[in-house]
Structure 1
């Protein structure tokens, strides 16, 4: 059974979804969207939850402030004609073709013209209730994944030659929390969203994962390999800590 109560912070009312579970303690999850979910013992009263929230008010407030600041920093895309989406520090202009109602949207990246084309495909839309922005975000993401495969392959080749390290494969993902990874078989995986950051950030991710081909850990020896290819890699690490919100995507 799920019900809800409200928590007040800085003049704003936050809805707290309540989940009763087979547990002994109280747990509160704060989502990036600002939503709150409280998991409580099955027999616990809502009054006991309110007391828990009040007792934890200061800590909850800090988290809510962080979530609010994160949301304010997150880019807002409308995918309207003439909008610019920056990819690896290059501004790509959105170009819309005739959009057919009820048809699934598709997108394509024109790297020479620095354009992202959004148009109607031949298939009917499987989610008719989805807004244009939601459909466009999905279509553009698909196109940027294709584009990023070529982009990362080029940068891996460039840095791989400098570092004398070559992967067995380069793959692209939609990972929400990991920007890159290296498998034990030498395959590198990159999240396409890293291209929403400045290029030196994307290059750092490339160097970081290539270094894992030499050391599959985060030891001093590993960072020595990273530093040899990118002496200012700490600047990239600091940027990621402060600007992760800029890499959010609507879907």
Structure 2
């Protein structure tokens, strides 16, 4: 991946075997050009110039959405999301695991917070979401794969940076652990979205037609994720 700048727009270029080029605004606000290996740099610069207004508009929307990002504190009563529901945090002195759901709450070792080990507290949530997501998302992939018309795939739930999901060159799927904070309907949308990329690597009309075949109301779920995605964090 290489970085470039045209006037006031800084962007990165990711080249691959894809046949078309597009521009996306990543969840961290980066401008990313996904392009075929054969396309010259001059053509990419022309794309950036042609899409300048679109880039401005979408970056402004990104700033507005991220202005509402929720900064959670590790204290009694703070709400943490799981499958779209908010569960209050309860700090406890003794239990078998660093983080356990119990009686409608997330119970966490108090020592993690008292010692100021916030990264360890975050890791406890991450590990919980990975463990739960590995089973649940696997089930949803198995359910939707035949509906999309693709073979069942290996599935992993892990840290993916600024992507909700990804597909390796050999066809294995990975999903961000933060997906488990979203409602089930949104997780299903992410699953279908990624599976449809086996038919079309880009986001052309043909791709969205594939998504629509399986999930006609995908537009509402796509918009929910765009609007609320910044709040899916610990």
Q: TM-score range by the shorter chain?
A: 0.5 to 0.7
Give distance in 2, aligned partners of 1:89 and 1:176.
21
Give distance in 2, aligned partners of 1:214 and 1:66.
29
Q: Is the 8 A contact 1:160 1:166 kept in 2?
A: yes
Larger Rg: 1
Deviation at 1:109, TM superposition (A): 4.6
Q: Deviations over 1:166-221 (max 9, x none)?
A: 33200112122111112232211111112323332221110011112333333433
Q: Show the counterpart of 2:218.
A: 233
In structure 2, do the counterparts of structure 1 residues 153 and 114 end up closer, same or farther at CA, with 3 Å as the change threshold?
Answer: farther
Give distance in 1, aligned partners of 2:76 and 2:151.
40
Give distance in 2, aligned partners of 1:65 and 1:212.
26
Q: 2:127 aligns with which of 142, 159, 176?
A: 142
Q: Show the counterpart of 2:159.
A: 174
Give distance in 1, aligned partners of 2:157 and 2:212.
25
Give distance in 1, aligned partners of 2:61 and 2:142.
42
Q: Is the 8 A contact 1:167 1:210 kept in 2?
A: no
TM score, norm. by length of structure 1: 0.58
In structure 2, do the counterparts of structure 1 residues 210 and 64 end up closer, same or farther at CA, with 3 Å as the change threshold?
Answer: closer
Give distance in 2, aligned partners of 1:168 and 1:176.
21
Secondary structure of the equivalent of 1:94? strand
Give distance in 2, aligned partners of 1:218 and 1:175.
20
Q: Deviations over 1:102-147 (max 9, x none)?
A: xxx932456xx544332279xxx8xx99724443122211221211
Report 1:16-35 matches (<5 A).
Answer: none
Q: Between the two structures, name the one with larger relative contact order (CA 8 Å, sep ≥ 6).
A: 2
Q: 1:184 aligns with which of 164, 169, 173?
A: 169
Q: Which has the higher strand share?
A: 1
Give distance in 1, aligned partners of 2:166 and 2:131.
18
* Alignment gaps of 5+ in structure 2: 1-5, 11-26, 29-58
Q: Is the 8 A contact 1:167 1:188 kept in 2?
A: no
Q: Is the 8 A contact 2:85 2:183 kept in 1?
A: no
CA RMSD, 1 decimal: 3.7
TM score, norm. by length of structure 2: 0.62
Deviation at 1:65, TM superposition (A): 10
In structure 2, do the counterparts of structure 1 residues 99 and 27 end up closer, same or farther at CA, with 3 Å as the change threshold?
Answer: farther
Give distance in 2, aligned partners of 1:130 and 1:217.
47
Report 1:92-111 matches (<5 A).
Answer: 92-98=87-93, 106-109=98-101
Asked if residue 158 in structure 1 is aligned to residue 137 in structure 2, the reply is no
* Alignment gaps of 5+ in structure 1: 1-24, 34-62
Q: 2:197 aligns with which of 206, 209, 212?
A: 212
Q: Is the 8 A contact 2:65 2:227 kept in 1?
A: no
